[in-house]
Amino acid sequence: MDNIIFIGMPAVGKSTVGIIVAKQLGYRFIDVDLLIQEEEGKLLKEIIREKGIEGFLAVEDRVNAKVSVRKTVISPGGSVVYCENAMKHYKEIGKVVYLQASFETINKRLRDAKNRGVVLKQGQTLKNLYDERVRLFEKYADITICEDGHSLEDTVDAVLGSVAV
């Protein structure tokens, strides 16, 4: 249980906050989206285009569920909360930290969802996706850190204060 796993919407800062937290704790850092791209030999948006959403989620579940590390900050993609095996695995190997931000904050930060490899169903808006995922983030979170109105430093301090490793 000595890992920290960040969940949250795309553009919430899972990787940015994760790298800083890892440095502060002397932990390793893993961006699982990069592991997926490496394993598949393709960009996330290409995997989604070729395999469809369900196919992508199967890849995401498989790759996340086999992450085997200690003293590591793990940053999976925002859609990992649809992956039951992965989330069960993460709950067993660490503390799951939900980096929470309002829809308005996410919408401001996220310029082009499709180009970022965000899993959007046909006709689904970013707001629909946000509302759908918030319930899942809350379900899996051991700790919730609200970012609205806070600087990056404030968020990092809140994470470090709450994980007490």
The residue extents of the domains of the chain are 3-159
Mean pLDDT lowest among 34-38, 75-79, 134-138, 139-143: 75-79
Tokens of 27: 């932990």
* Record: fold of 3-159: Rossmann fold (3.40.50)
Our CA dihedral for 50, 54, 58, 59, rounded to 10 degrees, sits at: 30
Q: Tell me, yes or no, if the pTM score tops 0.85.
A: yes
111-155 per-position pLDDT tens digit: 666 555 577 777 888 899 999 999 999 999 999 999 988 999 999
